[in-house]
Amino acid sequence: MATALVVLAAGKGTRMKSDRPKVLHEVAGAPMLVHALRAGAAISPARTIVVTGHGAEAVATAASAWDPQVELAHQAEQLGTGHAVDQCRAALAEFDGDVIVLYGDTPFIRPETLAAMQAARATHDIVVLGFEAADPGRYGRLRMDGQSLEAIVEFKDASDREKAITLCNSGVIAADAATLFSLLEAVGNDNASGEYYLTDVVGLARARGLSATVVTCDEAETLGVDSPAALVRANAVYQDRARAELIAAGVTLLAPETVHLSFDTAIGPDSLLEPNLVFGPGVTIENGATIRAFSHLEGCHVARGAVIGPYARLRPGAELSEDTRIGNFVEIKNAQIHAGAKVNHLTYIGDAELGEGTNVGAGTVTCNYDGVFKHRTTIGRNVFVGSDTMLVAPVTLGDDSMTASGTVVTEDVPDGALALGRSRQVNKAGLARRMFEKLKAMKARRDKDSQ
């Protein structure tokens, strides 16, 4: 049966103490909204609708950037979760299938959990996602009768007996679209908050003779973020989980707690991650690569056998082939480094291509920006670039060519040629000694005058 995904993303999140919409605060380099959409996408929904409210334009932009096919509904007044879902009524009026409701500030729901809810829908009209809480606190309680869910009771409205229940409501719910919107018509706001609760559909469904049940998940999956402190916890939870998954997949982390990953970091088995690494979004590392300490990578691809760092920076567009070497204090941006090439020391390579077997000496800079436009540097195969070479783009170095140390290259270098572009050295006999004597005498006079 087809499934429509509804993601609630209308809340302001007052406790976040931020002008940014709550769902756009980031966990592991991506807005929480993207985490929810990503989890939902794994079950291949036929439709995805994001309900916006506070900061609607920014939320819509983020949702569409992740998935251009996302549809939008707007909740002008935040009158509760039931009211939010009801804003999708017109969009889903002709939809023949199930609806699963997710929350844009709950980033850890697993695709496997949503698949289990889909399976449970085969035998029940309403499926709610619940969890056993170590500290139930102010969560809504799930009142069960065997395997049947009788009602969801909000903490504010719960009796003492109901507050003793440890099975709690995550807010995630699945139902047939027609059934869900029919039940929402009957939801009222006669409660402590004066809001229209989505949770009320369970009691209404049971009153109509419909069945309801609960699928349970680990409590960590249901972690919602509504404060800066909760955002810190969410990032910590994500990092712990992501590191554990890498280790289980055969990646060696020498100091796991110092490696910070993004939501889409992909690292192959037999890779080695040394301490103090930061992976920004868009990083793919193939099998058997080594990322040495204190390196920062984002928007790049590193092939098998490559060695990066220590203290290296790979920026967006860096594409490193097999067995490349990028050393300490080297920055690579929007550049292709072909197999076996080496850039080992104190160098910037931007908007460039380095051929196979090329070796770039320390202090080399591709001068790619003229203040208005970016220009490209092309370096052929088996080129030796001498230390402190300035490559003023656009410029090309042919195969098997060489630059002398300290050269400023402003013209193309043919295959096999040596480029030498520096001023002739002149030695002035005895001048250094005389200058030192003069300077020391000046210093002595200054020190005497200051006494």
CB 149 within 8 A of CB 214: yes
Q: Among residues 398, 354, 392, which one has the least CA distance to residue 375?
A: 392
Is residue 74 among the annotated active site residues?
Answer: no
Please report the pLDDT score of residue 13 as a whole number: 86
Please report the pLDDT score of residue 12 as a whole number: 86
Calculate the CA 72 to chain-centre distance. 23
CB 293 within 8 A of CB 276: yes
CB 78 within 8 A of CB 96: no
Q: What is the pLDDT of residues 223-280, one digit of tens each?
A: 999 999 999 999 999 999 999 999 999 999 999 999 999 999 999 999 999 999 999 9
Query: What residue ranges do the domains of the chain occupy?
Result: 3-222, 251-419
List phi, psi (to 5°) of 333: -140, 130
For residue 423, pLDDT beyond 90: no
Pick the CATH number of 3-222 from 3.90.550.10, 3.40.50.360, 3.40.1390.10, 1.10.510.10: 3.90.550.10
CATH T-level fold of 251-419: UDP N-Acetylglucosamine Acyltransferase; domain 1 (2.160.10)
SS3 label, residue 414:
coil
* DSSP codes of every residue in 145-202: ETTEEEEEE-GGG--HHHHT--EEEEEEEEEEHHHHHHHHHT----STT----TTHHH
Element (H, E) at 63: helix 56-66
The DSSP bridge partners found for residue 354 are 337, 379
CB 323 within 8 A of CB 341: no
Tokens of 361: 């000496």
Its pTM stands at 0.89
Tell me whether the omega of the peptide bond preceding residue 394 falls within 30 degrees of 0, making it cis. yes
Q: What is the pLDDT of residues 365-374, one digit of tens each?
A: 999 999 999 9
- Catalytic residue among 35, 260, 296, 345, which? 345
How many CB atoms neighbour CB 359 within 10 A?
A: 17
CB 21 within 8 A of CB 14: no
Element (H, E) at 219: none
In this prediction, residue 310 has a pLDDT band, given cuts at 50, 70 and 90, of very high
Q: Among residues 342, 334, 337, 438, which one has the least CA distance to residue 376?
A: 334
For residue 97, pLDDT beyond 90: yes
How does the average pLDDT of the chain come out, rounded? Answer: 95
CA dist., res. 186 & res. 201, Å (int): 8
